[in-house]
Amino acid sequence: MASGREHREGEDYGDAATMGALRRLQAGYAWADVASLEPGAAAARVRVRGAAQAVRAVGRRVAFLVLRQGAATVQCVVAGGDGGGMARFAAGLSRESVVDVAGVVSLPREPVRGATQQVEIQVEKLHCVSRAVPNLPIGVDDAARSEEDVGRAKAAGEQLVHVGQDKRLDYRVIDLRTAANQAIFRVQCQVENIFRQVLLSEGFVGIHTPKLIGGSSEGGAAVFKLDYNGQPACLAQSPQLHKQMAVCGGFGRVFEVGPVFRAEDSNTHRHLCEFVGLDVEMALKDDYSEVCDVVDRLFVAMFDHLNQNCAKELEAIQRQYPFKPLKYTATTLRLDYDQGIRMLQEAGVHVEPMGDLNTEAEKKLGELVRDKYGTEFYMLCRYPSAVRPFYTMPCSEDPRYSCSFDVFVRGEEIISGAQRVHVPELLEAQAAARGIDVGTIASYIDAFRYGAPPHGGFGVGLERVIMLFCGLGNIRKTSLFPRDPKRLAP
């Protein structure tokens, strides 16, 4: 310490009883964010609260403490005082404990390694606000390690801890502190922002539809059922009917961001039992290509924004989970389903021209499209009617095909959209043709009897957007607290 004054336990350092006490003990220092501590702040007297990411004692009188706030870290130097009480106190802090540091910003002689900020804090006061248990179930640095690093170390005969996906999720409150996770969920927030901004600028109205639905949902199978004051109810598998009703109710163009529930027993890398749906529904003028136009503008704007404004976050994700930037074009490629089928057939893949594509065929088509058109983001339009829901509008010139589309990112389906049938008689006929008891969906059909504009829309899962944009390979990595057939906690 510059003054050489001895640090007093309880006054200059120690565990803090209350925030009021802290305010008194650390008076005279200005609150600062770690991310704002740049060389220009040298000599400033600052107070910082952060997590003790790393603690290292050097002898009995000096300790180095790396403090983390969000994704930013700064090195703090605890020294001075003949007794070295404060340095020993620092050295005894358990990792991840939350501490308040007050001191002077200084420029280190050598570049700091192991911290994002290129300044240090010469600590004058140090108080622990919240003690972490000494033996954390997972370490933040272990959780932040890439598989490559673990592999490289192993090859060199060294053993590095690798935290498995399930253990990460069990201790999500720690796992979320890694730089990659801090970035993933900040990027996710940006994706939602751009979704909203683009749609609001095009006259869409944001709505909220109910998640509690009477009966057993819109003819769906895998719904979560519950008792609603004595009435049978279930959780909405999609806001389909209600967003259509909002359009028919005069709102013209609507969107919703909200949870979607699927009780499917799908233990895959891309399914969740609860996810965040980004849904759009709009009145159409001439045809469903207007929906495709919205998808095009929306997602190109989103991808552009992420690349231009989230470089730091994308880098952080890449350090732990390496991926190649998504290839996309300024105007999104649209292929007809028939064209896609032909490309697959020409490549020797066996596919039924009027059947659905399985995941493998979709993946293969993604490769063919990337190689031929240079994009990993494209739309496949005009699906066979037989593979789409009964409420999909058939093409008027050939009803074997429908006014529908899917959108793919890196060979995986991410968006499904279509024009809907707004004609009650046609809805009834199409439902009946699929063996659906029309009586069970009478209220759905009735909604179109009071004057209904032609309309269409699409839905996309927020978690899938980030998973596929960043090539993360597991949707559990892009859900804050994922819910899959086995996981209901934390």
* C-beta closer to a copy of itself: residue 103 or 454: 454
User: How far apart are alpha carbons 377 and 408 in whole angstroms?
Assistant: 6
| Given 28, 250, 348, 439, the residue binding a copy of itself (CB under 8 A) | 250
* C-beta closer to a copy of itself: residue 75 or 479: 479
CB of 43 to a copy of itself, least distance (A): 22
Among the candidate windows 84-92, 170-178, 374-382, 405-413, which touches a copy of itself by CB under 8 A?
170-178
**Given the residues 120, 256, 281, 413, the one annotated as active site:** 413
CB of 45 to a copy of itself, least distance (A): 16
Among the candidate windows 114-122, 226-234, 342-350, 365-373, which touches a copy of itself by CB under 8 A?
226-234
97 is an interface residue for a copy of itself by CB under 8 A: yes
CB of 196 to a copy of itself, least distance (A): 8
| Given 98, 112, 343, 436, the residue binding a copy of itself (CB under 8 A) | 98
Among the candidate windows 62-70, 76-84, 101-109, 318-326, which touches a copy of itself by CB under 8 A?
62-70
Cis link prior to 490 (omega < 30° from 0)? yes
Residue in 373, 467, 457, 455 with CA at minimum distance from that of residue 414? 467
User: How far apart are alpha carbons 107 and 277 in whole angstroms?
Assistant: 47
| Given 168, 422, 464, 477, the residue binding a copy of itself (CB under 8 A) | 422
Task: Report how many residues bind a copy of itself under the rule CB under 8 A.
Answer: 107
**Given the residues 186, 196, 271, 483, the one annotated as active site:** 271
Residue 270 annotated to the active site: yes
**Given the residues 202, 264, 412, 428, the one annotated as active site:** 264
User: How far apart are alpha carbons 270 and 401 in whole angstroms?
Assistant: 28
Residue 271 annotated to the active site: yes
| Given 88, 172, 271, 305, the residue binding a copy of itself (CB under 8 A) | 172
Determine contact, residues 280/238, Cβ cutoff 8 Å. Answer: no
CB of 140 to a copy of itself, least distance (A): 9
442 is an interface residue for a copy of itself by CB under 8 A: no
| Given 105, 248, 298, 407, the residue binding a copy of itself (CB under 8 A) | 248
229 is an interface residue for a copy of itself by CB under 8 A: yes
CB of 17 to a copy of itself, least distance (A): 8
**Given the residues 177, 242, 253, 262, the one annotated as active site:** 262
67 is an interface residue for a copy of itself by CB under 8 A: no
| Binding mask of the shown chain, residues 380 to 419, with x at each position contacting a copy of itself by CB under 8 A | ----------------xx----------------------
User: How far apart are alpha carbons 62 and 84 in whole angstroms?
Assistant: 7
User: How far apart are alpha carbons 83 and 81 in whole angstroms?
Assistant: 5
28 is an interface residue for a copy of itself by CB under 8 A: no
Residue 262 annotated to the active site: yes
User: How far apart are alpha carbons 266 and 435 in whole angstroms?
Assistant: 25
CB of 328 to a copy of itself, least distance (A): 24
Residue 45 phi, psi dihedral angles, 5° rounding = -95, 110
How far CA 302 is from CA of 308, 310, 380, 468, in Å, comes to 10, 11, 20, 13
| Given 107, 189, 347, 432, the residue binding a copy of itself (CB under 8 A) | 189
Give me the active site residues, please. 262, 264, 270-271, 413, 416, 464
